[in-house]
Amino acid sequence: MIYRETGQFKSTYENDHSIFPLIQDKIAFNILMLIAFLFVPLVIDSYWEKAILIPFLIYSMAAIGLNILTGYCGQVSLGTGGFMAVGAFATYKLMTIFPELNIMIIVLLSGVITALVGIVFGLPSLRIKGFYLAVATLASQFFLIWLFNKVPWFYNYSDTGQITVSERTMFGIAVTGANAPSYATYLFCLILVVGLGFAAKNMIRSKIGRSWMAIRDMDIAAEIIGVSPLKTKLSAFAISSFYIGIAGSLYFAVYLGALEVTESFDIMAISFPVLFMIIIGGLGSMLGSFLGAAFIVLLPIFLKNVMVDLIGLSAVTAKHFEITTWGLLMVIFLIVEPHGLARLWSLAKEKLRKWPFPY
């Protein structure tokens, strides 16, 4: 009844091509943004910050990155953890080399550095596809982690091999380091995710996004209409790595504060979960990146609440159940709904359009 497009006419192609063609979607999105920017910072506490919102935002960023590469350009990658490590270490090195540089610039530069690394590791994609490419990116994951362990220059020759963030401020308020207030770190991540999220959506709905999808769906036909596979694939690797690098940078600087590379950017800690996110959320969907990230962040908390606090299982058993639930969900999603939560959402919207009079 409320959710329908009747009476909304577009008189220009610009309007018709907007991100939210339906006025209801636009209003809902604006309300969501108002809550996120104005209301949440007032009430946020350390638990919500560290356990839910910051991980959600960072994983969303990584998921957007991987979705650009895998969902839109069709190049499977298992190297997410490695690229996030590049972002984290780039941030660390930039911070120590240029102590005066603004943290926002450092984060964005880390993204650029990761993009360059991404181009190098994207080169095999010009020759190989599918599973074989997945294995090649897997190699990049292991190589990068090995590199950051092996070369002490990356962790400034510290004894533990750990990297630790120092305090940096934006407008006089700390956003990194132990003393950063919850609302500051949250807003810092939120601004980056929303800004770059829009940038990603814009790229996807214009020329570069269409070339990615053309390469994904039928690379031969794409070549015949003049899409260069070289430029298109490498641009997907670069831009995807840029997003993943920024996610890694935030993961290190804002979220963890101090980390050790093998543990934090392990394939089981990052690469697979982010891949799960875009599969469960929806391959080739911006909304899917966010839904998947939310799902992956919230499910363990939900399961823990139910199993440990409600049923009274031991934490270890609950952890096992959690892993099993993952596996089960992956299989179910791949078989029943390969387009993920985003597809379920659009089906629900389709139903909502006709509700309550389906005829």
Tell me the Cα Rg of the chain.
Answer: 21
Contact 63, 251 (CB under 8 A): no
Residues paired with residue 266 on neighbouring β-strands, in sequence order:
none
Q: Does 222 bind another protein (CB under 8 A)?
A: yes
Q: Minimal CA–CA distance to 79: which of 274, 351, 262, 282?
A: 274
Name which position in 158, 228, 305, 317 contacts another protein (CB under 8 A).
228
Name which position in 6, 12, 46, 160 contacts another protein (CB under 8 A).
12
Q: Does 233 bind another protein (CB under 8 A)?
A: no
Site track for another protein across 177-206, x = CB under 8 A: ----------------------xx-xx-xx
What's the rounded Cα separation, in Å, for the pair 189 and 37? 11
Q: Does 131 bind another protein (CB under 8 A)?
A: no
Residues paired with residue 259 on neighbouring β-strands, in sequence order:
163
Q: Does 13 bind another protein (CB under 8 A)?
A: yes
Q: Does 8 bind another protein (CB under 8 A)?
A: no
What's the rounded Cα separation, in Å, for the pair 46 and 304? 19
**Complex with another protein: residue 214 or 296, whichever CB lies closer:** 214
Residues paired with residue 85 on neighbouring β-strands, in sequence order:
none
Name which position in 25, 223, 260, 337 contacts another protein (CB under 8 A).
223
Q: Does 284 bind another protein (CB under 8 A)?
A: yes
Part of the chain binding another protein (CB under 8 A), chosen from 42-50, 83-91, 227-235, 252-260: 227-235
Q: Minimal CA–CA distance to 265: which of 346, 146, 178, 169?
A: 146
Part of the chain binding another protein (CB under 8 A), chosen from 35-43, 139-147, 158-166, 226-234: 226-234
Name which position in 9, 207, 310, 315 contacts another protein (CB under 8 A).
207
**Complex with another protein: residue 106 or 208, whichever CB lies closer:** 208
> Count of residues binding another protein (CB under 8 A)?
33
What's the rounded Cα separation, in Å, for the pair 262 and 270? 11
Q: Minimal CA–CA distance to 249: which of 48, 57, 44, 52?
A: 57
Name which position in 227, 244, 293, 318 contacts another protein (CB under 8 A).
227
Cis peptide before 21 (omega within 30 of 0): no
What's the rounded Cα separation, in Å, for the pair 40 and 182? 10
What's the rounded Cα separation, in Å, for the pair 304 and 309? 7
Beta strands in 71-180 (DSSP E): 163-164, 169-170, 173-174
Q: Does 309 bind another protein (CB under 8 A)?
A: no
Site track for another protein across 62-101, x = CB under 8 A: ----------------------------------------
Per CB under 8 A, residues contacting another protein are 12-14, 16-17, 199-200, 202-203, 205-211, 213-214, 216-218, 220-228, 235, 239, 284
